[in-house]
Amino acid sequence: MGKVQTGRVIEFYSNSCLVDINGQKLPCSILGKQDIVVGDNVFLEYQNDNDLNSIIITSRAKRLSKLNKKGLRNSKAIAANISHVGILLVQNPKTSSGFIDKWIVSALASNIKPFIINNKIDIDIDAEYAQKLKIYKDLDIKVFDVSAKRGDGIDSLQKYLENKCTIFVGNSGAGKSTLTSKLTGKDIKTKSLSNNQGGHTTSISSLYSLSNGLEIIDSPGVRDISIESLSSEEITSGFVEISQSAKLCKFSNCSHKSDEGCNVILKVNDGEIHKSRYNNFIKFLEQISDE
């Protein structure tokens, strides 16, 4: 084999990848059953010297971060070396607080910074939706108000994303593809392929890079994130206001349910911790304890 080279996976298929190798985008096969995803930095070798069709991925470099997708039986990595997660919210279709909090918790546990994109600001919002946004603004989670369709707020978001690797997540209809197209200048279309098994899809994930250091990973079909592998400490850390309040509970092993001297319950009753955040916190802890 030829000398070892390195590259970045920019598209992933079922058993092969498209890899950026010093600016060249080349198809590569994967040696053995390796866990390779978009965003991975990989080591490559030529099976035949100077034959661009003979490059294989022999191994991958250590990941700085990864996100796991919830599967039917277990979780699997969907992207690697991400620095930020942009959670897209729209008033309709409604995004549950559970969806938002799950992505926040999972991102923070993976050393990834979450932020929120309030899309479709060209549509008037109601009081309930405005309150949902306020919950996260009060937690110092950065919120960008944009209209991906009209281009409102895109310059500010694009500036923020410079020199970052970001993945956008959101419910169907939230405008992920439209936003990615607007930011990259490329016509991003849904690339999910039905496998004739209901709503499950097989997707082609892609990484788009711009000259200003902006990188966006587009992973169609991502709906749910796995928290089953997280510890109770990681989940608690994902609810920063609860984590801080828990330090003043009377007992160190407080369950934050009905324990005597629970400072978390006190803050919930006083309105300092929002009930939706508290309910999701308890729900997530119960979810991992059932596993």
* Rounded alpha-carbon distances, angstroms, from residue 145 to 39, 119, 184: 27, 6, 18
pLDDT attached to residue 189? 64
- Rounded CA-CA distance 142/120 in Å is 17
Query: Taking residues 252-261, what's their average pLDDT?
Result: 92
| Dihedral over alpha carbons 102, 137, 215, 15 (to 10 degrees) | 10
pLDDT attached to residue 113? 96
- Rounded CA-CA distance 133/141 in Å is 10
Percent of the chain with pLDDT over 70: 90
CATH number at residue 158: 3.40.50.300
Residues 99 and 151 both lie in one domain: yes
pLDDT attached to residue 251? 94
Examine the fold and report which residue of 168, 191, 218 is the final residue of a domain before the chain moves on: 218
- Kindly state whether residue 181 falls inside one of the protein's structural domains: yes
Average pLDDT, the chain: 87
Residues 186 and 55 both lie in one domain: no
Amino acid at 105: V
Relative to beta strand 41-46, strand 24-30 is unpaired
pLDDT of residue 247 exceeding 60, the answer is yes
pLDDT attached to residue 197? 33
Percent of the chain with pLDDT over 90: 63
- Rounded CA-CA distance 29/13 in Å is 10
DSSP sequence for 51-109: -TT-EEEEEEPPPS-EEEEE-SSSEEEEEES--EEEEEE-SSSPPPHHHHHHHHHHHHH
| pLDDT band (50, 70, 90) for residue 133 | very high
* Rounded alpha-carbon distances, angstroms, from residue 128 to 97, 115, 239: 12, 20, 21
More confident residue, 219 or 42: 42
pLDDT of residue 142 exceeding 90, the answer is yes
- Rounded CA-CA distance 67/110 in Å is 7
CATH number at residue 46: 2.40.50.140
- Kindly state whether residue 156 falls inside one of the protein's structural domains: yes
Q: What range defines the domain where residue 273 resides?
A: 232-289
Amino acid at 99: F
| pLDDT band (50, 70, 90) for residue 185 | confident
Residues 144 and 276 both lie in one domain: no
pLDDT attached to residue 68? 81
- Kindly state whether residue 89 falls inside one of the protein's structural domains: yes
Summarize pLDDT for 81-118 with one digit per residue, the tens. Answer: 999 999 999 998 888 999 999 999 999 999 999 999 99
DSSP sequence for 166-231: EEEE--TTS-HHHHHHHHHSS-----EEE-SSTT-EEE-EEEEE-TTS-EEEE-TT---B--TT--
Residues 151 and 90 both lie in one domain: yes
Helix axes 275-289, 97-109, angle to 10 degrees: 60
- Kindly state whether residue 225 falls inside one of the protein's structural domains: no
Residues 40 and 90 both lie in one domain: no
Residues 214 and 106 both lie in one domain: yes
Cβ neighbours of 14 (radius 10 Å) = 7
Q: How many domains does the chain have?
A: 3
Window from 4-18, 135-149, 246-260 with minimum mean pLDDT? 4-18
The residue among 174, 185, 194 whose CA lies nearest residue 151 is: 185
Cβ 288 vs Cβ 280: under 8 Å:
no
Window from 50-59, 125-134, 208-217, 275-284 with minimum mean pLDDT? 50-59
CATH number at residue 254: 1.10.40.50
Cβ 154 vs Cβ 148: under 8 Å:
yes
pLDDT of residue 179 exceeding 90, the answer is yes
pLDDT attached to residue 17? 92
Cβ 107 vs Cβ 113: under 8 Å:
yes
pLDDT attached to residue 141? 96
Summarize pLDDT for 186-229 with one digit per residue, the tens. Answer: 877 654 433 333 333 335 789 999 888 899 998 876 667 878 88
User: Can you give the pTM of this predicted structure?
Assistant: 0.88
